[in-house]
Amino acid sequence: MKKLSHFDAAGSPRMVDVSAKPTTRRTARAHAFVRMRPEVVRGLPQNPKGNPLEIARIAGISAAKKTAELIPLCHPLMLSHADVEVQVEEGGVRIIASAATSAQTGVEMEALTAAAVAALTVYDMTKALDKSIEIQDIYLLQKSGGKSGGYLRDTK
């Protein structure tokens, strides 16, 4: 079994020392889905709180930039790019978040945080209309760069 790098020899959590790693371009994309009743999906453009999709997009981008403040052992990164795409579909809202940097560690957590916070924002802006909203399927779609190389989720 592979040893986890976030633990020291005594088993205590620690921040990984990446100082010896080369700086490379790193990218990641993550996914989330917000499932809601069809009438709530149809009513998204008339939401009295504002446009939930645009607000979720901005919230996700902001969250990507604050990942190290939210996840204790994440490295603070200077992102060169962060974006969140939101797409209304039958049954809910699909969210695809992306992040990029040139650094010594990857941006998977930034993309995942962006997707999760964007989904939470959609929930927050629509919860008065539907208490049964579900946030589903938060996962990494793709990553590039770094020692472990690329990853592409099998979507089958």
What residues are annotated to the active site?
124
What is the separation of C-alpha 46 from the centre of its chain, rounded to a whole number of angstroms?
26
Long-range pairs for 39-47: beta carbons < 8 A, 24 or more residues apart: 39/129, 40/126, 40/129, 40/130, 40/133, 41/88, 41/89, 41/90, 41/91, 41/92, 41/93, 43/129, 44/88, 44/93, 44/126, 47/125, 47/126
d(CA 152, CA 27): 12
DSSP-derived 3-state class of residue 50: coil
Pair of tokens at residue 152 = 């592409």
Q: What are residue 24's DSSP bridge partners?
A: 103
CA end-to-end span of the chain: 26
